[in-house]
Each structure stands twice: as structure tokens, then as C-alpha cells.
Amino acid sequence: MKSIILKTASNYLLPLLLLFSVFVLLRGHYLPGGGFIGGLVASIAFVLHAFANGLSNTKNLLRVHPGFFIPAGLTLSLGSGFAPMVLKQLPFMTGVWFKDPIPVIGMIGSPLFFDIGVYFVVIGVSLTIIFTISESA
């Protein structure tokens, strides 16, 4: 859409929303949020940017095709399920954790990486779908 106002605002809303999405992702284990919502918020950020600036600009911004996030995220999630199998001979998807929490994020363990994988998959999926639709409109 040819609106300077939207365009300008979206440029500032994008980082804000992205930041917010990471925030939602990381706190998911303790408070409402998590990979899905985080991923959805992040996708919405890019969608907004695309509405305002046109699809090609947003794609340039992303540098890679959004579809790339899908296998990447899947690998991360699946990998965090594998970690206990490979590392400790435990059943698939068993949570393995570092001993001490780190500030801001809290405990670091395989479920966290799993959730991050979810986050990326959701971004990849939403953006692939919406971008594809827009392009073929």
C-alpha cells in the first residue's frame, strides 16, 4: 500500500515486534508465551513490513527464502529430541538440562532448543504461506 505513514511506522514497528517475539519465545517456559506465539508474532512483524513496503523489500530484508527456516527449525527441534538419545542413552525427547540457570532466560536445556526450533518453523511456515500467496496474487 502506498502510505508513507504506514511505511515509516512499519520500519520502526518491525524491530519492536521482532524483539517482542523473542521475548515471548524465551519466557514461554515460565509465563504465557513460547515458540508458537513468538514465531507468529515474528511472522506478523514481517507481514506488516511486507504490507507497507512491498514484498520484494521484505524478502531482501530476510536475505534467505523464508522456506529455509523450516528445515532449519525442524532440525533444531528434532535435534533437541535426539540429544538425550545420543548423549545420555535416554529415551527420545527426554529433557536434558545444564546444571545452573543463566540470567534472563533461566534454565537452558533441550526443551528450550525445542521451542526455539518451533519458533523458526512457525516463522518459516507463516512467511512462506503469506509470501507465496502475495506473490501469486
Partner 1 sequence: MTTNFIIYPILYQAITAILLMFFWRNPKTQRLLSILSSSFGLVLAVSLFVFIWQNGTTALQAGNWAAPFGITMVADTFSASLVVLTHIVALAASIYSSEKVISSRIKFGYFPIFHLLIMGLTGAFLTGDIFNLYVWFEIIIISSFVLLTLGGRHHQIEGAVKYFTLNMLASIIFLTAIALLYGITGSLNMAELSVIIPQIENKGLVQLIAIIFFTGFGIKAGVFPLYFWLPASYHAPPAAVSAVFGGLLTKVGVYALIRVFTLIFDLDEFNSTLIMVTAALTLLSGGLGALVQKDIIKVFSYLIICHIGFMIAGLSMNSQVALIGAVFYMFHDIIIKSNLFLISGLTSSIMGSSKLEKMGGLLNAYPKISLLIAIPLFALVGIPPLSGFWPKLSLFGASLSSGNYTLLAFMIFASFITLFIIARIWNQVVAKPKPGKFPENGFNTYSFKQKAAFIVPIILLSLVTLYISFGAEHIQILAERISNELLNTEQYYQAVFKTINP
Partner 2 sequence: MIAAVLAGFILAPVFAFSKKILVEKTAKLFALLPLILFVYFVSFSGQVASGEVVDFTYSWVPSLGIDLNFRIDGLSTLFLLLITGVGTLVFFYTSNYLKGHEKLSRFYAYLSLFMASMIGLVLSDNVFLLFIFWELTSISSFFLIGFNNTQEGSRKSAITALAITGFGGLFLLSFAIFSGGLTGTSRISEMAEMTEVFSSGTSSVLLLIFLLVAAFTKSAQFPFHFWLPGAMKAPTPVSTYLHSATMVKAGVFLLLRFSPHFSLNEWWSPVLILFGAITMVYAAIHTLFRTDMKGVLAYSTISALGILVFLIGLGNSYALSAALVFIVVHALYKAALFLVTGIVDHKTGTRDLTVLSGLRSFMWPVAIAGFVSAASSAGIPLFIGFIGKDLIYEGTLHSAMIWTTVVAVLTNFLLGYAGFAVGIKPFTGPKPEKSIAKPSAVLWFPPVLLAAGSLVFGLFPGLLEGIIIPAYEVTGGQDFHPLKIWHGFNLVLLLSGCTILLAILLYRFWKLNPEKETFISRFDPIAPKTILLKASLLFEKMAAFWTRTAQNGHLRNYVLIIIVALITALIYHLIGSPLTYLDQLIWTPLEWGEVVVVSIMFVAIIFTVFSKSRLAAVAGLGVVGYAMCFIFVFFSAPDLAMTQFTIDTLTVILFVLVLYRLPPYLKLTNNRLRIRDGVVSLAFGALITLLALEVMNESPARLISEFYAESSYLKAKGKNVVNVILVDFRGIDTLIEITVLSIAAIGVFGLLKLRLKKSEK
Partner 3 sequence: MNELFMIVVISLGTLFILLAAVGLVRMPDLYLRISVTTKAATLGVGLLLAGTALYFFEVSTTTRALAIIIFLFLTAPIGAHLIGRTSYFVGTPLWKRSVMDDLKGKYDKRTRELMSSEEEQKRTEEQN
* Cα–Cα distance for residue pair 51/13, rounded to 1 Å: 13
Closer to partner 3 by Cβ: residue 1 or 86: 1
129 touching partner 2, by CB under 8 A: yes
CB of 95 to partner 1, least distance (A): 7
Can residue 34 be called a binding residue for Na ion (CB under 5 A)? Answer: yes
What does the buried/exposed string (b/e) look like for 63-88 if buried means 16 or more CB atoms within 10 Å of the residue's CB?
A: eeebeebbebbeebbeebbebbeeee
Query: Could you tell which of partner 1, partner 3, Na ion, none binds residue 34, using a CB distance below 5 to 8 A set by kind?
Result: Na ion
Output the nine-digit C-alpha cell for 96.
536434558
Sequence-ordered list of residues with C-beta below 8 angstroms from that of 133, at least 6 positions apart, any chain: none
Stretch that binds partner 3, among 2-10, 53-61, 91-99, 106-114 (CB under 8 A): 2-10
Residue 1 found at the interface with partner 3 (CB under 8 A): yes
Among 20, 23, 36, 68, binds partner 2 (CB under 8 A): 36
Question: Could you tell me the three cell numbers for 12?
Answer: 520502526
Name the phi and psi angles at 109, rounded to 5: -160, 180
Q: Does 62 bind partner 2 (CB under 8 A)?
A: no
> Given the rule CB under 8 A, which residues bind partner 3?
1-3, 5-6, 9, 12-13, 16
